[in-house]
Every structure is written in C-alpha cells, then in structure tokens.
Amino acid sequence: MRFRHLLLAALFLGASSMLLADVFALPSPDPPLADHHMHIRSDDATDAFITLLKELEGRTVDDLEGATGASDILTRLDAAGVRYGVLLSVAYFFGAPDVEFENEQARVRSENRYVGDQAAVAPDRLVAFCSVNPLAEYAMEEVRWCGENESITGLKLHLANSDVDLRKAEHVDVLREIAELANDLGLPVVAHIYTRHPEYGYEDAEVFISEILPVLTDVPVQVAHLGGPGPFRDAAASASQAFVDAFEEKPEVLSNVYFDLAEVLIPAERAGDDEEVRQAIESMNAAAVEQIRALGPERILYGSDWIFDRETSEYVDVVSNVPLPEDLLNKIASNRAPYLP
C-alpha cells in the first residue's frame, strides 16, 4: 500500500500523457557498462538495518539476507552482463540519530573496512565508497581514514539517513568541512542530497550547489537518484530543476557533477494489474526522461540501488528493464564515471 501511494503521487508531476509504449524501448539491447549505485552490507550492518526498520517503520524482517561478498556481487554483475560495480557502504546506519548503537564509531570503521576489502577482491571491476554520518563527532577522522585506505575509492554521504538539514546553517557548515576534506584527499563523492525536510526540493538543492559543490572542485560528484529519494516524484523534479538552472547560470561549478538513475525509472510491470498505478509509473518516468534530457545524457549514470535481499534473476530484470527512449538508453548504458578503473 505504501508503494502504491508513493507512485500515485507521481500523477501530480504534470508529465506527458502520451503512450509510453510508443516512446520507451524495453529491454535494453546493451546492458549498462557499470552499476554505479549498489549497496553491500556485513552481517552487523544487516542486523542494524533490521533494527532501524523495526524502530522507524514498525517492520519486522525475519528472512533478510545477511552479508554479501565480492563473489556474490560478481555473480550478479556477470549474470547481467555488467562490467563494473560501485559498492556503497552503509556504515552511516550506525550513526543514525534515531537509534543509539553501542560502539558506534568502531562499527562504522568495521563496516567501511568490510566494503573496502570486498572491492579489493576484484579491483579491476569493483570500487568501494566508505560512508559516515557527517554530523558525527568522529566524521572527519573517519573520512581521513578512508582517504588513507587504498581499498577505498570515494565517500558516500546520505543526508536523509544522517538527518542533515540543508536549511540549517550549522549543518551546512559541517557538511562543507567534510566535503572540503574529501576533495583534499581526492575522494570522489556520491551524495544522496534528499533530506527529511517535508518541503525538500529546489531550495535545498540550491544550497548544495552554492555551498557544497564549490569546495568539491577536484573530484567527481555523483548526485544520487537524480536529486530525489528514488522514484521521480515532486521532490526529485524540483531538486533536479535547480541543477538544470545552475548549468545555465554557473556551469563551472557543475563541471564535475554527474547524476545516477538508481530507482528513478520504474518498469511499469511493477504495477501488475493495477492500471491506475501503471499510469502513475508511466507519467513519472516520462517526467524523468524530460529532466534527463535537460541535464544532459552524458552526465547520467546507470545505477540500480541494489540491496542484496533479492535473487540474482531479479537483479538481471532490474538491469535489463530500464524504461528509457532508445536514443537515451544506449548512451546512458555506455556512460562510465571517471572514478572507475
């Protein structure tokens, strides 16, 4: 029911009402070169995830798959015909302000080391991004450690899970310091800039563009989910428009900025027999495609937002059923972030 409500909200995006079957090419004739947005977690992080689901959403999960290693990742990539995988740490789970985890800092370090070790198994195909809640008192120390670890390629920042508010000056100041350190250490950044603010959108993205990007001048910056939380609803449309406008007004600030499509485009088949949900999905996808063209297809990176509680066959479906017009599909499938080997 929750997913249904999420999708129905897309009807208010004002997307084209044209028949998407005439516009989208499914499946992709060529698999993506890289999956730029994959999550991996240890047994400890899996337990933390279960705790967070219970505390924040009242959900009880008994059969969530535990630790997934490099061999599992490579099996999935191979089955989908994908060459590279970007492994994003979920160490920020332990720094979530909603639950107090014992030995928080040590567990953050352990999780980041775990992800780095898995990427090191296949350094020609896998890269690891460490993560930390930027508001944690040990955040600077952890980022320095990441910069010194040869198995770590970059830094993942998840503002929503860390409860960073881009409308609070003190939060922006801390985030800027973290970003500046990452830049000095040569750590590319994957940023989930969506926050918990109920009116998140254009204003928040503007803050990120004007206050954070200017200190990330020497490393690639990958904005997750096209600036939103996932599916292309109002928040993502509004935030991504701030980037479209910024490309016209101050393109030099965004010269190294990319956007990933993790969970942005949703295959209409997920609606099943519900025609209302199907129409909502198609409307949402059409709006996303318009924004992809405005941002520039050369800056769009494929990402699945993969979490390892699905079967490999499902991953293949996620990778192959990317609902894009044919002219965009092959272009984006061939895009490759500059931080990849």
Over the chain (341 residues), the average pLDDT of each successive run of 10 is 34 32 49 95 91 82 77 93 97 95 97 98 98 98 98 98 98 98 98 98 98 98 97 96 96 96 91 93 96 97 85 85 89 96 95
DSSP output for 37-89: EEE---HHHHHHHHHHHHHHH----S-------HHHHHHHHHHHT--EEEEEP
Residue 339 lies in a domain: no
pLDDT for the residue 14: 31
Q: How many domains does the chain contain in total?
A: 1
Residue 24 lies in a domain: no
pLDDT for the residue 309: 66
Residue 337 lies in a domain: no
User: Tell me, what CATH number does 59's domain have?
Assistant: 3.20.20.140
Supply φ then ψ for residue 156, to 5 degrees: -100, 130
Residue 25 lies in a domain: no
Residue recorded with tokens 């860390």:
162
Residue 203 lies in a domain: yes
Residue 299 lies in a domain: yes
Give the CA count within 13 Å in the CB-facing half-sphere of 23. Answer: 15
Residue 73 belongs to domain spanning: 32-328
What sign does the CA torsion over 75, 77, 78, 79 have?
A: positive
Residue 4 lies in a domain: no
Residue 266 and residue 324: Cα distance in Å, rounded? 10
Beta bridge partners of 340: none
Residue recorded with tokens 């070790």:
117
pLDDT for the residue 127: 98
